[in-house]
Amino acid sequence: MARQESPPVMACAVVEQTRDGMREVLIGRIPNQPYKGQWTFPGGPVERGEAPEAALRRALECLLGLKVEVRFGQPPFDLPWDDVMMRWRFYFCEGRAEDIRNTHFSEVRWVQLGSLREYEFDPVAQQVVDWLLEQRETR
């Protein structure tokens, strides 16, 4: 019986900070196709043999010059990115605005959770936004 290959893994962060008593999350505008101009949460691919948290830290440092404290992760879920099935790992992290040195996104913003619906997200990030807002409403 052949072993089934798991899809490529992406490690992404919901980076949070508190400013003026309000919780904010970091989002970035995607610079290239297929979702150019839409917003997303920062992250990157997990390389073979690499732990997802290590990949996340590497990606955030590379893309944003950002070091974060990983607080906890969510269970993985599979969704396509364009036409490629991917396994997504999202982690909740603590970061600080003054530490950002954006080298990847066309724009980055800190936004309050309640305003996330004002942005157009890529399909994967939209799933996370919907979940975040649902959790916020049930608290």
pLDDT tens, position by position, 89-108? 999 999 887 779 999 999 99
Is 2 among the domain residues?
no
Is the pLDDT at 112 greater than 90? The verdict is yes
Total number of domains constituting the chain: 1
Residue 115 belongs to domain spanning = 9-138
Is 4 among the domain residues?
no
Is 104 among the domain residues?
yes
**Residue 38, token pair as written in the block:** 């839409």
* 99-116 exposure pattern, b = at least 16 Cβ within 10 A, e = fewer: ebeeeebeebebeebeeb
The pLDDT value given to residue 1:
54
CATH number, domain of 85, equals 3.90.79.10
- The pTM for the full model equals 0.91
